Structure 1
Amino acid sequence: MRTCIPIVFLCIHSVAAIYAADLLTIDDGVVRVGIDREKGGAITWLSSHEYPSNIVNVADPGRLIQQSYYAGRRLNRVTEGQHKAWSPWSWNPIQGGGVGQGGDSGTWSRVTQFRKTESSLYSETIPKLWDMADEEADAVMRQWSTFEPDMAGVVAVTCELQAMRDKEDRWGGPTKNPQETPACYFTRNFDDVRSYLGEGRWRKEAQPTGPPWGKTMPPRKAMAMFEASGQGVAVFSPTATQSWNFGPHGSGLSDQPDVGPCMHVAPIDRVLMGHQTTYRFRYWLVIGDETDIAKRLDMLWGKYSQEQSQVTHKNSQ
């Protein structure tokens, strides 16, 4: 029996090491943010010194804080395994993975690069098409996450999609689609939703349980969600050009990140997406109470209100 103890210890230690390697995090003393190798390299952890629990809903590949894009015409592919609830559907690569079938929670996207430095995180992902159980998209997603200089509690994220579709594929030619910049899902207890108006002013937003989601146009390109104690998370997306999607899903005010009920917000840009388009943008996550978030959002607006996304098309679209 004594000879087994070291072996068991080593096995447990190895499993713990593997699990730790799948979640990379960085911390600036105020906020902690993490990406998960097993969940498409998307952001799966967000917490703060004042709210140490995870804010991000990770119940399935469609949640998280992640990249999600749309292009081409909507197709009915049910006979090929497309989920009936998501048919017909356009070309929709998402960082997390594909929708589940038959009660499973879906399939996660494949991560090809995954690393961190002291203050940054990087992932490179082959995304899945959302409407299918396990179909990789002809695309690569890249993501850089770091902290905004001289702004404690602010995470800056750069996202990039490189579409590599065949010009003769079934989805057809270029289309100008709404793009989520990004898609965000938080725990259900962050149910106090507000648009930021600037200089410490907020507009409360209300929406019945969805989907469908509500729509609103925040004038300072920022929305926040707060929980009962006053802690909140804001999304600032200066390249958004359309009304944002937002709202609750499910009942109750659960603070658990792995259950169905959640809160959703997605800034929206409208972009011409062709077969071989590269699309790049930045957004910011701000953690804190109402006063702290307002102060940071004013500073971000002063620095980045004129920022634009970058769109390039390779060869003829």
Structure 2
Amino acid sequence: MRLHLLLAFSLLLPAGAEILKAEELHSIDNGTIKIGIDRDKGGSITWLSSKTYPNNMVNIADPGRLIQQSYYAGNILDRRADGQSKSWSPWSWNPIQGGGVGSWAIASKIEQDGQSLYSETTPKLWDMPNEEAKALMKQWTTFEASVPNSIVVRCEFQSLRDQYDRWGSAKNRAQEVPACYFTRNFSTVKSYLGNNEWRLETQPPGPPWGKANPPRKSMALFDEDGQGVAIFSPTSNLHWNFGPHGQGQSTDPTAGPCMHVAPISRIVLGPKTTLNYRYWLVVGDADSIATSLDALWEKYSKEQAEIVN
């Protein structure tokens, strides 16, 4: 199966399209870490920074990047007669929180309650210029108690497809849990092994991406000054995709060059499936991230995704 984000960097937005400004950014900040979601980008995570790295770490160059939900289901179809992008044909049913090839999704609900954020979004289908998916994405974002440099994100995906639509029955497909894109300067990638030990992972610029198998289900990306961001995804059950795109050490969140990492799980999504899972984002230097990842592993290493068909 092809993943749309393996090729997303060849995407050119249609004439007249533009990258929306973060005018609808809603953020929380505990003094150590700041995170924000954007109504105009489907409620996806579009801002992540720390006390020691106050700039935005998230690449927001197009709807296929960000830190967001992305899923694959059903038959792979040629829908060019209906306006499907030639670059993404044939394609499976692929709802994207951030939007489709030429349009952003807009969150229908954003709520902020103290130090937590909640969003609801009708996603777009990736392969079409502006087609809403029959689906609903919910997301809860808050700080992890007792681990001040970490964020916990709960994702809920509801497939609302017609039972006998053209995409057909459930298929066992690889899912990104979640898809993450960061600025290009976070170019050193390491898998966490536990007990403050790391393994360097290398990959030439892609796509295609490299594949890694982090034993503690966590990988981190670091800049030249040793500041970094880690993803811990205990429900992942396959390899992780990772790697750079483009050259240089750009800190610009809207630049083409970027860094990618995605934990992968095999999940069967049917027309009426509901999926729930959680992942964590941790910021800091290698020592502080390692300490936090050890604590998270001890508490959540056996956590499983919840799937209702």
Q: Specify the SS of the correspondent of 2:63.
A: coil
Contact 2:94 2:127 in 1 (8 A): yes
Higher Rg: 1
Alpha-carbon shift at residue 251 of structure 1 (Å): 1.4
What CA distance in whole angstroms lies between the structure 2 residues aligned with 1:76 and 1:249?
28
Give the partner amino acid of 1:108: W
Q: Specify the SS of the correspondent of 2:206.
A: coil
Q: Does 1:297 align with 2:290?
A: no
Q: 2:74 aligns with which of 72, 75, 80?
A: 72
Give the partner amino acid of 2:306: Q
List, as ranges, runs of 4+ consecutive aligned residues in structure 1 with deviation greater than 6 Å. Answer: none
2:254 is matched with 258
Alignment of 1:81-120 (within 5 A): 81-99=83-101, 106-120=102-116
Q: Does 1:245 align with 2:247?
A: no
Alignment of 1:171-210 (within 5 A): 171-210=167-206
What CA distance in whole angstroms lies between the structure 1 residues aligned with 2:274 and 2:256?
33
1:144–1:215 distance in 2 versus 1, CA, 3 Å: same
Alpha-carbon shift at residue 56 of structure 1 (Å): 0.2
1:33 is matched with 35
Q: Which deviates the most, 250-259 or 233-242?
A: 250-259
CA deviation vs aligned residue, 1:226-245 (integer Å, no higher than 9, x gap): 00010000000000000011
Unaligned stretches of 5+ in structure 1? Answer: 1-18, 100-105
1:312 is matched with 308
What CA distance in whole angstroms lies between the structure 2 residues aligned with 1:110 and 1:54?
21
What CA distance in whole angstroms lies between the structure 2 residues aligned with 1:244 and 1:83?
27
Alignment of 1:129-144 (within 5 A): 129-144=125-140
What CA distance in whole angstroms lies between the structure 2 residues aligned with 1:262 and 1:112?
29
Q: 2:51 aligns with which of 49, 52, 68?
A: 49
Q: Specify the SS of the correspondent of 1:150.
A: coil
1:170 is matched with 166
Alpha-carbon shift at residue 79 of structure 1 (Å): 2.4
What CA distance in whole angstroms lies between the structure 2 residues aligned with 1:166 and 1:281?
24
Q: Specify the SS of the correspondent of 2:69.
A: strand
Q: Specify the SS of the correspondent of 1:242.
A: coil
Unaligned stretches of 5+ in structure 2? Answer: 1-20
What CA distance in whole angstroms lies between the structure 1 residues aligned with 2:249 and 2:49?
18
Give the partner amino acid of 1:78: R
What TM-score, normalized to structure 2? 0.92
Alpha-carbon shift at residue 124 of structure 1 (Å): 0.1
What CA distance in whole angstroms lies between the structure 1 residues aligned with 2:164 and 2:305?
27
Q: Specify the SS of the correspondent of 1:212.
A: coil
What CA distance in whole angstroms lies between the structure 2 residues aligned with 1:152 and 1:70?
34
What TM-score, normalized to structure 1? 0.90
2:213 is matched with 217
Contact 2:211 2:242 in 1 (8 A): yes
Q: How many residues align?
A: 289
What CA distance in whole angstroms lies between the structure 2 residues aligned with 1:69 and 1:20?
24
Q: Specify the SS of the correspondent of 1:297.
A: helix
